Amino acid sequence: MADIAPDAGLSRAQLRTLTLASLGGSLEFYDFVIFVFFAATMGQLFFPPDLPDWMRLVQTFGIFAAGYLARPLGGVVMAHFGDLTGRKKMFMLSILLMAIPTLLMGLLPTYAQVGVLAPLLLLLLRVMQGAAIGGEAPGAWVFVSEHVSPRHRNLACGALSAGLCAGILIGSLVARAINAEFDEAQLLAWGWRVPFVIGGVFGLLAMFLRRRLHETPVFAELQARRALAAELPLKSVLREHAGAVLLAMLLTWLLTAAVVVTLLMMPTLLQGMGVTREDALAGNTLAICATIVANLVAGWLGDRFGAGRVLVLWSALLGFAFWWFYAAAMHGAYSQWAYALAGSAVGLTALVPAIAVGGFPAPVRFSGLSFSYNVAYAIAGGLTPVLLSLAMKDNHAAPMHYIAGMAVLGVALGLFVALRRPGSES
């Protein structure tokens, strides 16, 4: 049985699939990340006003983290049905499960209006978002990977990752526009609701776009040959593919560190160093643009020279660029262009899913990737904002040291992949 689409160049239909999948992913990812761009504002609105600033930040990022902790459940359930009933059906469902809670967030009462019920409702909706995104990212990577040949897998995953990062960019641009349009009083009164309502509309638009996509050739062939998983897909994954699970989890830890710290937390952290909100968001926009371009470049290079080798290069860049940028910002020399260079290092997110997808056979691919990715992301992505916020109370350089350690991990993983599977890294 062919495991992938025929080994040929990208056709017009494949390019259309990549474009629609990436655009839909960007709109859904906007819904998930817009919360973090208004973390400081949400902290003021949904928690008691007499809390210390650092405690309010920890609690706000704690609710943000709850979305990550809910990912495994949603991801495993969607992946189970994705392996048994089809990739496209779950691709559509994840959009609906994201759009509804995002819209409801924009309608929530605040702490001043309903007291402790406000953060509890916010937490509930964040958990619902987490369940939806748990099926989105791994499902999207499997979807695009199965529409192209193995020699284009890195570029396909890079295009999808670029689309997801574009969702962060949209969030950053919306945040900048709202902060420019409203003063502090207006923002706290009602302006903060606008990005969540916009997100609900984006979600419906993404659902419409995905109706035009077709089921993957790989799943269609599995279904035609009656070669779908004969037992619970996750059971087979854990019994027969433990090595692939471990590798995918470590790769996800690296991806999580790069995205969460460099792109999501940084605007808030920079403001804590005295950088104005406008300058922090402007630098964040440049960094995300650099990430989008770097995903495409890294994916293209990965297809030609091997994902492992290129991962080594990009991980080294992450360690160097982030250290330089963050150390300068700590000493009052914040540079938006240095931030952009650090953002380009996040292009390693093109290589991580491509390597991880290749570790699982088609009948259990969605379940294998989803379980590995979501469990690792729930732990690393959920705890990173909280633990770094606590660590920074005594060590302001904690993010810099953490990313340096992750860069070392990335180099080690890249060497492992390159040496273990020479000539077939993609």
- Residue 412 CB contacts under 8 Å (≥ 6 apart), including other chains: none
pLDDT at 7 > cutoff 60: no
More confident call, 155 vs 81: 155
The CATH topology of domain 13-226+234-418 is: Growth Hormone; Chain: A; (1.20.1250)
pLDDT of residue 51: 67
pLDDT at 110 > cutoff 80: yes
pLDDT tens track for 295-326: 999 999 999 999 999 999 999 999 999 999 99
pLDDT of residue 205: 79
Q: What is the mean pLDDT of the chain?
A: 82
pLDDT tens track for 18-30: 777 777 778 777 8
Q: Is the separation of the CB atoms in 131 and 74 below 8 Å?
A: yes
More confident call, 56 vs 267: 267
pLDDT of residue 12: 74
pLDDT at 223 > cutoff 90: no
pLDDT tens track for 344-354: 999 999 999 99
Tokens of residue 222, six digits: 């599995």
Q: Is the separation of the CB atoms in 206 and 29 below 8 Å?
A: no
Separation CA 112–CA 409 (nearest Å):
45
In 3D space, the residue among 268, 293, 267, 31 whose CA is nearest the CA of residue 167 turns out to be: 31
**Per-residue pLDDT band at 86 (split at 50, 70, 90):** low
Q: Is the separation of the CB atoms in 371 and 87 below 8 Å?
A: no
In the block, tokens 């207006």 appear at 186
Average pLDDT estimate for 192-196: 91
Average pLDDT estimate for 266-293: 89
In 3D space, the residue among 334, 332, 412, 367 whose CA is nearest the CA of residue 90 turns out to be: 367
b/e per residue, 339-355, with b = 16+ CB within 10 A? bbbbbbbbbbbbbbbbb
Q: Is the separation of the CB atoms in 283 and 334 below 8 Å?
A: yes
Q: How far is CA 245 from the centre of its chain?
A: 19
**Per-residue pLDDT band at 337 (split at 50, 70, 90):** very high
b/e per residue, 89-116, with b = 16+ CB within 10 A? ebbebbbebbbbbbbbbbebebbeeeee
- pTM, whole model, 2 decimals? 0.80
**Per-residue pLDDT band at 87 (split at 50, 70, 90):** low
Separation CA 84–CA 32 (nearest Å):
27
In 3D space, the residue among 55, 238, 68 whose CA is nearest the CA of residue 137 turns out to be: 68
pLDDT of residue 10: 66
Separation CA 210–CA 311 (nearest Å):
31
Could you give phi then psi for residue 106, rounded to 5 degrees? -70, -10
pLDDT at 114 > cutoff 80: yes
Average pLDDT estimate for 131-151: 80
In 3D space, the residue among 364, 345, 339 whose CA is nearest the CA of residue 238 turns out to be: 364
pLDDT of residue 9: 58
